[in-house]
């Protein structure tokens, strides 16, 4: 026995069928929030971002990084 469902997707949004536009008050609040978030970032934040970028670079290329380190160690043992 097979059943066929012909109902449309049923979800609701906060716009209630209208265009989801932002109000000037929402944009103003967002601008204030971004200004508050941007101010406390100093040199330490820049250092944190650089460290996070390096970690991301190494983590995505973990196997390649291990192969390069093993190759360098192997070359050093052969030379000395």
What is the per-residue pLDDT across 32-70, written as a single tens digit (0 to 9) for each? 888 877 766 777 878 888 899 988 887 888 888 899 999
When pLDDT is averaged across residues 69-74 and rounded to a whole number, the result is 94
| Interatomic CA distance for residues 21 and 33, integer angstroms | 19
Q: Other C-beta atoms within 10 Å of 34: how many?
A: 10
Instruction: Enter the DSSP assignment of 18.
Output: S
User: Any idea where the domains of the chain sit in the sequence?
Assistant: 24-79
pLDDT at 78 over 70: yes
Give me the pLDDT at residue 79, please: 84
Q: What pLDDT, on the 0 to 100 scale, is given for residue 80?
A: 78
Sign of the Cα torsion 74, 76, 79, 80 reads negative
14: Cβ contacts below 8 Å, ≥ 6 apart: 20
User: Greater confidence, 73 or 80?
Assistant: 73
């Amino acid at each position: 026995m097979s059943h066929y469902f012909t109902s449309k997707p049923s979800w609701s949004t906060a716009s209630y069928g209208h265009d989801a536009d932002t109000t000037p008050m929402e944009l103003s609040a967002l601008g204030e929030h971004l200004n508050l978030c941007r101010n406390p970032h100093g040199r330490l934040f820049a250092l944190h971002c650089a460290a996070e970028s390096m970690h991301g670079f190494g983590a995505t290329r973990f196997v390649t990084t291990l192969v390069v380190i093993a190759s360098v160690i192997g070359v050093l043992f052969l030379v000395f």
